[in-house]
Amino acid sequence: MNERSILVVAHARRADTVAAALRVVRALRDAGATPVLPAADRDELAAVEPGLADVSLLGADIPLDRLELAIVLGGDGTILRAAELVRGSDAPVLGINMGHVGFLAEIDRDDMDNAVHRVIARDYEVEERLALSVRVKDVEGRVVFETWALNEATVEKASRERMIEVVLEIDGRPLSSFGCDGMVVSTPTGSTAYNFSAGGPVIWPSVEAIAVVPLSAHALFAKPLVVGPEAAVAIEMLERTDGTGILWCDGRRSHELPPGARVVVRRSSHPVRLARLHPTAFTNRLVRKFQLPVEGWRGAS
C-alpha cells in the first residue's frame, strides 16, 4: 500500500489548537499515515509543543502532489490559507472548527477524533467550489500579475482620503463608470464574507454564479449584480483616478493598481475541493452563523 500523507494546518496562537494538532498527528501516525506540516507551522507549533518537531515538512519531505488530504484546525481564515497551500494538487480540505461558527469548517472540535478516523477510512465526500482566476493587465494589455481566489477578488482604494474612478465591464461590454471605495467580485463561497458585509446577496453554494458589488459608489446605477459563472468581469482603473488602488484576493494576496490598470476576473478552471463528512443544509449554517430568528416555524409541509 502506498504511503498516505495528510497535511495538518494549524497555528500556535491558541493552546487548544496546538493540543489539537498534536492529537491529530498522533492519531494519523497510529493509523499508519504520515502527518505533514507546512514549514512555518512546524516552527511555531514545535516552539510550544516539542512533540511536533519531527513531523514531515511539506515540500522538503513530502511533495505537494503526494498529499491525500488536508486537515485544518481553525476557522475560515485558516481554511483559506490551507486552500492556498494545497493549490495545484487534488487534495481536498477538511475543516475542523476551533473557534467561531464558520461556513467552511463543518466539523466541531468535539467531533475531531471521529473526523480523523473517517479520513483514515476514506469515509468522506468531496465537494467542489467555484474559484476565481484573477489577472491584472497594464495599459499596454500585458499581464503583470496573476492569482486566484476562493472567496473574493477586491479592488480597493489605497488611500483613505481618496476614492478610485473605475469602469465596470461585463463580457467585453462596458456597463458603467463611477467613483467608489472599491469593487468586490465574489464567489458563492465568499458571498457570506466581504460580499455580505458590502450588501451583496447570499448565494447558495449549489448555485454557480459570480456576484459583483460596488463599495460606496457615487453613482445612480451601482447595485449588486449576479452574473453567470462563465462571465468575464473586468474593472479598469480610469486614468483620471487620483492615486492608486490595490487588488486583494481572499485578503491574502495583493497587487498595486496604478491608473490604467485592468483587473479581469473569471471562473478558474481549478475549483477548490472541500471534504465533507456529513453535509449540513446551508440554511442551517446561515441560521447558526447569524443567529437568525426561526421561532414559530411549524415544520416542512
Burial of 253 (0-12, 13-18, 19+ CB in 10 A): middle
φ, ψ at 100 (rounded to 5°): -75, 160
* Residues pairing with 182 in the sheet: 156, 215
Question: How far is residue 172's CA from residue 168's CA, in Å, rounded to a whole number?
Answer: 10
Question: How far is residue 300's CA from residue 214's CA, in Å, rounded to a whole number?
Answer: 37
Q: Of 16, 43, 54, 76, which residue is the catalytic one?
A: 76
155 contacts 245 by C-beta, under 8 angstroms: yes
Q: What's the chain's length in residues?
A: 301
82 contacts 9 by C-beta, under 8 angstroms: yes
Question: How far is residue 123's CA from residue 5's CA, in Å, rounded to a whole number?
Answer: 16
CA triple 128-134-140, angle to 5 deg: 160
Handedness of CA 141, 145, 150, 153 (dihedral sign): negative
76 is catalytic: yes
Question: How far is residue 230's CA from residue 240's CA, in Å, rounded to a whole number?
Answer: 30
Q: What is the DSSP letter of 270?
A: S
Question: How far is residue 161's CA from residue 147's CA, in Å, rounded to a whole number?
Answer: 28
Question: How far is residue 170's CA from residue 176's CA, in Å, rounded to a whole number?
Answer: 10
In Å, what is the CA distance from 296 to each residue of 282, 293, 299?
Answer: 20, 9, 9
Catalytic residues: 76
